[in-house]
Amino acid sequence: MANSKTYQRPNIVRRFIVALMLLAGLGIDEYRAAPTWAARNYGDSSPFSKLVHLIIWAIKTFLVTIPNGLTNVTFEKTTAQISYWLSAENPLHNHPWDNQPNAPLPTEADVVVIGAGFTGSACAYHWSKQSTGKMVVLEMNEAASGASGRNEGVVVMGRFFSYVKKMMSLNLSTTREDLSAPQRSAMAKKFARAYVAAAYRNADMIEQTIQNEGFEVEYARNGWVQGDFASQPGYLAESVQESANEGFNDWIEIEGTQAEDLTGMPTGNDVVVGYSQKAATWHPAKWVWALLSKAVSSDSVSFFSRTRVWKVTDEGDHYAIQTTRGVIHAKYVINATESYTAKLHPEFHSKLSAIQTHAAFAEGGPDAMKQDMGMGGPNSWFGKHPSGVIMGTGATHVPPNQAGVIKQSRFLTSFCISEIQNIFGNSRMHVTREWSCTAGFTDDEFPIIGLIDDKRQYIIAGMCGSGSGVHFNGARHVINKILNLDEPDDYPEEFFSPTRVLDPTNHCWPTID
């Protein structure tokens, strides 16, 4: 689809029509997201001032920004709710039921993994490489049907050092009131070090695995450009320096012209741009299917889709895993259920929250936008693909029973489009897909990897929208623990144990030097 050369601004009537249609389509989640938006953008101002800013922003967005952005844009009459990634052929579709409709569920296993996204399939992969014992992977829908098959498709180097430190430091003021501010900062620094070191290794392990196994997952390691730090003057330079001081050199600042070369974004020289050099892009669902297919081809892993786990009961020397197809007894359980966890384990209610993000796919898009690059604007992210653009925005807290539920938002799609058009200039787009998904967030925005009881039940979660930066190394770690393998410990309990969020008072915190 070629770019339009005849872009004309809509007239006032058209602007009101667009605004009224968007307003009529707003749902509870958009209203729920408004305070988060105001807090993020007008942080330190008073509630009244935030409200005034929000109203002015809304008038401008509904009557100016979005109507301008939607010129040249059309929508499929009924947009599909299936993500761009999940429209590809799933080699494990309805596994094993398509080929063996009466396949019996095993009654015993060494390990049961609940969930088949990035995390569950990585557990299966590592197990198949290390053990001849029996692992059963249970998935209530299809492999990759959760966040892993509905995301942006960027393989991140984890979150950058300063961000991890900032979020942890903020949270320590609640969980560790006994510490002074400098002590909290020192402890947060240790957390950030542990996280980023493990994330860097995770990224390299993923690349190695793709190469060694010959996985065809559309992997390209060209980096990820975050296009706007204008609202936080000085922050990018500080964050780059702070990372570099710790020996973490992936996150750098680049000039606008370099960003334009990489992404096609006409940023201009005065814009401050962050660049994660070793981030990559891939087909996230194909990654899940490749890992799981490899694991299932061994004798040690079996996978059952469309099999929901209702309950996990500790029965002494084993767990009883109750499913929609019968009970399995297993010595170990790994919860790879991320934002869905609180439905299965109520103790995670309000400790591991489901945060919903909206995404959409449009055919066409800016000719200048480069493929195989992660990109972000001030309030949204986007990526170019052979037939169009994937885009997304939003971070809305939803109740546990809404985890994974797909909600479409025409307002958020339009908002993303207007941001892309604003950056790249207006291009022709036809929106065919709109979906959403939830990521699992802890309050300190730091993952939890370890035992959730004092026995043999593990969790890997709280990856806070950066699961590609944690899951593979995290799964390796848990499998090594189960098999008692002596390997470097990338996820020490003092940082990653779930007790940090479940019972902070009794968590064994790291010491401060």
- Establish if 152 lies at the interface with ligand FAD (CB under 6 A): yes
Tell me the C-alpha distance between 92 and 28, whole Å: 35
- Establish if 302 lies at the interface with ligand FAD (CB under 6 A): no
Across the beta sheet with 353-364, what order do the strands follow?
73-80, 429-441, 353-364, 388-398, 381-385, 374-376, 224-226, 273-276, 251-254
- Establish if 119 lies at the interface with ligand FAD (CB under 6 A): yes
Q: In terms of CB distance, is 19 or 431 closer to ligand FAD?
A: 431
- Establish if 139 lies at the interface with ligand FAD (CB under 6 A): yes
Tell me the C-alpha distance between 428 and 73, whole Å: 6
- Establish if 226 lies at the interface with ligand FAD (CB under 6 A): no
- Establish if 116 lies at the interface with ligand FAD (CB under 6 A): yes
- The tokens describing 449, both together, are 């990897």
- How many residues touch ligand FAD under the rule CB under 6 A: the total is 42
Tell me the C-alpha distance between 83 and 78, whole Å: 14
- Whether the upstream peptide bond of residue 96 has omega within 30° of 0, thus cis, is yes
| CA 285 to chain CA centroid, nearest Å | 13
- The tokens describing 475, both together, are 């799964």
In eight-state DSSP terms, residue 371 is B
Residue type, 257: T
- Establish if 154 lies at the interface with ligand FAD (CB under 6 A): yes
Q: In terms of CB distance, is 172 or 359 closer to ligand FAD?
A: 359
Q: In terms of CB distance, is 139 or 228 closer to ligand FAD?
A: 139
Place of tokens 């490749």: 290
> What phi, psi does 125 have (nearest 5°)?
-60, -50
- Establish if 114 lies at the interface with ligand FAD (CB under 6 A): yes
- Establish if 478 lies at the interface with ligand FAD (CB under 6 A): no
Cα distances (angstroms) measured from residue 285 to each of 142, 216, 458: 11, 11, 24
- Establish if 359 lies at the interface with ligand FAD (CB under 6 A): yes
Site string for ligand FAD, 428-467 (x = CB under 6 A): ---------xxx-----------------------x-xxx
Residue type, 271: V
User: From the list 61, 71, 131, 151, which residue makes contact with ligand FAD (rule: CB under 6 A)?
Assistant: 151
Q: In terms of CB distance, is 348 or 509 closer to ligand FAD?
A: 348
Q: In terms of CB distance, is 166 or 345 closer to ligand FAD?
A: 345
Asked if residue 434 lies in contact with residue 10, where contact means CB atoms within 8 angstroms, the answer is no
Q: How far is the CB of 184 from ligand FAD (least distance, A)?
A: 27
Span interacting with ligand FAD, options 7-15, 108-116, 230-238, 485-493, rule CB under 6 A: 108-116
- Establish if 308 lies at the interface with ligand FAD (CB under 6 A): yes
Tell me the C-alpha distance between 364 and 233, whole Å: 34
- Establish if 498 lies at the interface with ligand FAD (CB under 6 A): no
Q: Using CB under 6 A as the criterion, which residues of the chain lie in contact with ligand FAD when the complex forms?
A: 114-120, 138-141, 145-148, 150-154, 156, 308-309, 336-340, 344, 357, 359, 392, 437-439, 463, 465-469, 471
